[in-house]
Amino acid sequence: MKAFNFFVLPLLPVFFLYADSTNIEIPKDIEKKLCQKLLNKECDSNQTLASDYYYKFDNNQTLIFFHINQKNGLYQHGYKNLSALIDSNSQWKISNNIIDAEIQEVVEDPKGGVWLRTLWMIEGVSPYLYYSKNAVDWRAVPFPKKRPSTGPFEDLKLCFLDNNIELTFGKIDHKKSERTWSASYTEASTKQPKWNALNYSKACPNIFVDNNDSMSIEHSAGGLKIVLKTEERAVAIMPYTIQLGAFDKKESLVAMKKGLNDLPEKLISKEVKTDNIKKYKLFLDSYKNYDTAKARLEKLKRIYTKNSIIQGAYVTKLPY
């Protein structure tokens, strides 16, 4: 993966490419446009422009996903993401589509299409899939109907073959519920794709190189600066956790904690306020990524088969 740098000079912005450079300067007008699209106003000290995810294409274009960091928000990372595509001539193309979910991965198919897998992870887990021909204009991809796994705890795996894309859906805590649908790339990218249900399951033979990476935005003397994380994968801004319960009264949370003292993990209590409504939530430990938390919850459910709290738990983000 190549890293690169922007230098903004008077009158004419010039682009330079260096193998060991990791910074991109964000022009002031671009910063203002991004904030306006995400907030309908300019950013301020409580709502700042942020980014921690990008994808580098082989043609030296870089796809960056921006969001607003909410200083006093329940989820500081937020869930509104806006993409921008930067080419080798320092030209920015900002999307008009807001991606209202957490970015999980970007993959190019063999035909040149770009696929974006996302997760909505508040009070449950719901996958979404987006398609784009140019990495600027995104369209939500309708899923197959009558999926047995449909609900707030659904998982999605993608498989990219030479001519087809396969979607495998399943319940997060029940692998036997997995079922796969297939369509050609041309068909899957239509507004109403026709999915073919497969009556077998198999391992995906094509594992694409993960060209997704993480990033951050920092303040510099000249304004905002993007720092690309190319040497090591960055951990998500907020850790993942297992939510055990949510209550209107603190006493109910305390009572639940007493019944879970035999668990080896750390119990985390949070007082969460949303739209002036206060909730007392109980979480089980924190994990560096979604898959780790999911694997731990699945193991706990196998161990505590008669514990209704564990059986009803789910993976989510740990609020600040």
Q: What is the mean pLDDT of each run of 10 residues along the chain (320 residues)?
A: 33 31 77 93 88 80 88 67 90 94 86 90 82 96 89 85 88 74 95 90 55 61 64 45 90 87 81 78 84 87 88 83
Same domain, 17 and 166: yes
Same domain, 221 and 250: no
Domain count across the chain: 2
Same domain, 96 and 25: yes
Residue 26 lies in a domain: yes
Catalogue the E-assigned strands of 110-211. 114-120, 126-132, 139-140, 154-160, 164-171, 174-184, 196-198
- Residue 71: per-residue pLDDT: 74
Residue 235 lies in a domain: no
Which amino acid does the sequence have at 202? K
Q: What is the pLDDT of residues 195-241, one digit of tens each?
A: 999 876 666 655 444 445 556 677 666 667 666 654 433 333 347 88
Q: How far apart are CA 306 and CA 89, in angstroms?
A: 61
Same domain, 28 and 102: yes
Domain that holds residue 311: 240-317
**Listed residue (123, 140, 79, 129) closest to 105, CA to CA:** 129
- Residue 231: per-residue pLDDT: 42
Same domain, 130 and 85: yes
- Residue 19: per-residue pLDDT: 31
Residue 234 lies in a domain: no
- Residue 129: per-residue pLDDT: 96
Of 209, 229, 249, which residue is a domain's last? 229
Paired tokens of 5: 């740098």
Residue 246 lies in a domain: yes
Same domain, 165 and 67: yes
Residue 284, domain CATH: 3.30.70.1070
Q: What is the pTM of this model?
A: 0.64
Of 182, 210, 229, which residue is a domain's last? 229
Same domain, 186 and 259: no
- C-alpha distances (whole Å) from 142 to each of 103, 139, 193, 261 are 18, 9, 7, 44
Residue 96 lies in a domain: yes
Of 195, 229, 263, which residue is a domain's last? 229
Paired tokens of 232: 């090591």
Which amino acid does the sequence have at 103? I
- Residue 173: per-residue pLDDT: 65
- Residue 93: per-residue pLDDT: 96
- Residue 275: per-residue pLDDT: 64
Same domain, 167 and 266: no
- Residue 133: per-residue pLDDT: 94
Q: How far apart are CA 167 and CA 24, in angstroms?
A: 35
Residue 63 lies in a domain: yes
CB count in 10 Å sphere of residue 9:
7
Question: Do 237 and 269 contact (CB within 8 A), yes or no?
Answer: no
Same domain, 255 and 224: no
